[in-house]
Amino acid sequence: MTVTTQTVTVTVDGVVVEVPAGTLIIRVAEMLGTAIPRFCDHPLLDPVAACRMCLVEIEGQGKPQPSCAVTVADGMVIKTQHTSEMAEKAQAGVMEFLLINHPLDCPICDKGGECPLQNQAMTNGQGETRFEGTKRTFPKPINVSAQVLLDRERCVSCARCTRFADQIAGDPFIELLERGAKQQVGTSEDQPFDSYFSGNTIQICPVGALTSAKYRFRSRPFDLVSTPTACEHCASGCALRTDVRRSTVMRRLAWDAPEVNEEWNCDKGRFAFPYTNEGRLTHPLVRDDAGNLVPASWPEALRVAAAGLAKTGKATAVLTGGRVTVEDAHAYASFAREVLGTNDVDFRARAVSNEETAFLANHVANKGLEVTYGDLEAAKSVLLVSFEPEDESPIVFLRLRKAALSGTTKVYSVAPYTSAGLAKMKVTLLTAGPREEVSAIASAATHLSGDSVILVGERAAQTPGALT
């Protein structure tokens, strides 16, 4: 079946383009390479038109309109700040209002050097201000959670953080309070922003109002060396960016990976990295005749390691641990089989049953990735067996929650009770106490179809018959 997408023809700054109906004006401008300033707009969040920075002129409209919230119509003629004096003046006016109470914290603000407000004040603002009053101030910072600090006077009320918490994470514990000039970000009755995903609000905040307790005042963006990497804490496979200064990890950010974690990651992946610095080996060590570890060169260390491994013969096993990436695990396994001559390779530091071993051999070994995150969101039904996504694989939780709330996917769970994480996904519970999962799995067949996806958690291996 071929799906036909209805298109419309619009003109942006004199350029005629055909785009799908319902496309936001700001997205059409992006397609044409035209940069429209914005603070509240984010492609993964619902439009809100809160900051008013993206105003454009639409032919036939008497006033400038927010391009982040208005969809195109056939024949629409749009002028951005590049071709419209109205749009240019409107954006400069909005910027002037935003800067009235914004402090001159740039030299000490963690956002300095990568701040949209800094950049857009230069490109779309004025060179001087008419404001001569006293700026609004607040006590700072406020700990909205153990990891997130809030400087309220920097906030431009873009509502990115509140929309993320409500729409993406399902944790509406942070909100815009008060009205008018008194409006500020806060938590309900001073309760903490208790979310597995609170760190994402730091990354998407466009002005440095939300900062990281671990990173605050520790470095500047231009002092950092950035390296793309993969998160090691669970099986989600999140793409991350690790920022290092003087051989020390300063912070980790979610990388833009639409096929995997989109632009999000959990707080463990974002903040749980200090172990990479404490007690880290910076050079090879070998034992001397007295059994003490002493520094050595790489050639000497490799020679000693090779000699030690050669003495063991085939009485060798390799245990990688669960934090290595798939690529690293494959390299370790190849080394074990081809160089050490052993097939005893594992990553589990726990008791293993024959049932689990047979299951992995028949359904996992020598097979590629058969279910992608896209497949997960497109499935009509998903069955969770002994699996708590929010705790065990947070990005699976976010993708499943998005699919469930959109109405395209029905999620079922074999579990003793409906946890807070399962409730956020509107899960239908198939109640099963400990060691009762087998009968619940059998009854779940009535809810599944040919395109259903079954996600099995590690705990299922502890129940005889659950994997078979």
Whether residue 129 is found in the same domain as residue 96: no
**Where a domain ends, among 212, 234, 249?**
212
Whether residue 121 is found in the same domain as residue 203: yes
Structure tokens at 316: 């060798």
Residue 196 lies in a domain: yes
Asked whether residue 369 carries a pLDDT value surpassing 70, the answer given is no
Q: State the residue range of the domain holding 416.
A: 373-462
Residue 56 phi, psi (nearest 5):
-135, 165
Whether residue 458 is found in the same domain as residue 417: yes
Closest alpha carbon to 51 in 63, 62, 66 = 66
The string of pLDDT tens digits covering residues 209-265 is: 999 999 999 999 999 999 999 998 988 989 999 999 998 899 999 999 999 999 999
Token match 């509502």: residue?
A: 159
**Where a domain ends, among 212, 236, 259?**
212
Is the peptide bond preceding residue 192 cis, with omega within 30 degrees of 0? no
Token match 């779940």: residue?
A: 444
Instruction: Give the CA distances from residue 460 to residues 212, 369, 396, in Å, rounded to whole numbers and listed in that order.
Output: 37, 20, 18
Residue 290 lies in a domain: no
Confidence of residue 76 (pLDDT cuts 50, 70, 90): very high
DSSP 156-220: ----HHHHIIIIIIS---EEEES-GGG-EEEEGGG-----TTTHHHHHH-SSSSEEETTTTTS--
Mean of pLDDT over the chain: 90
Residue 138 lies in a domain: yes
| Better-predicted residue by pLDDT, 310 or 158 | 158
Whether residue 85 is found in the same domain as residue 125: no
Q: What is the mean pLDDT of residues 90-101?
A: 94
pLDDT at 60: 93
pTM given for the model: 0.89
**Where a domain ends, among 212, 236, 264?**
212
Residue 279 lies in a domain: no
Residue 286 lies in a domain: no
DSSP letter, residue 338:
I
- Residue 461's CB is within 10 A of a number of other CB atoms, namely 21
Whether residue 95 is found in the same domain as residue 122: no
What CATH number corresponds to the domain at position 132?
3.30.70.20
pLDDT at 402: 95
Report the domain count for the chain.
5
Q: Is the dihedral of CA 382, 462, 464, 324 positive or negative?
A: positive
Residue 435 parent element (H or E): none
What CATH number corresponds to the domain at position 72?
3.10.20.740
Confidence of residue 3 (pLDDT cuts 50, 70, 90): low
Q: What is the mean pLDDT of residues 306-328?
A: 82
| Better-predicted residue by pLDDT, 446 or 197 | 197
Whether residue 92 is found in the same domain as residue 165: no
Closest alpha carbon to 454 in 375, 394, 392 = 375
Residue 207 lies in a domain: yes
Whether residue 96 is found in the same domain as residue 121: no
Residue 1 lies in a domain: no
| Better-predicted residue by pLDDT, 363 or 194 | 194
The string over 62-95, giving b where at least 16 C-beta atoms fall within 10 Å of a residue's C-beta and e elsewhere, is eebbbbbbbbbeeebebbbbeebebbbebbeebb
Q: What is the mean pLDDT of residues 457-466?
A: 78
Residue 291 lies in a domain: no
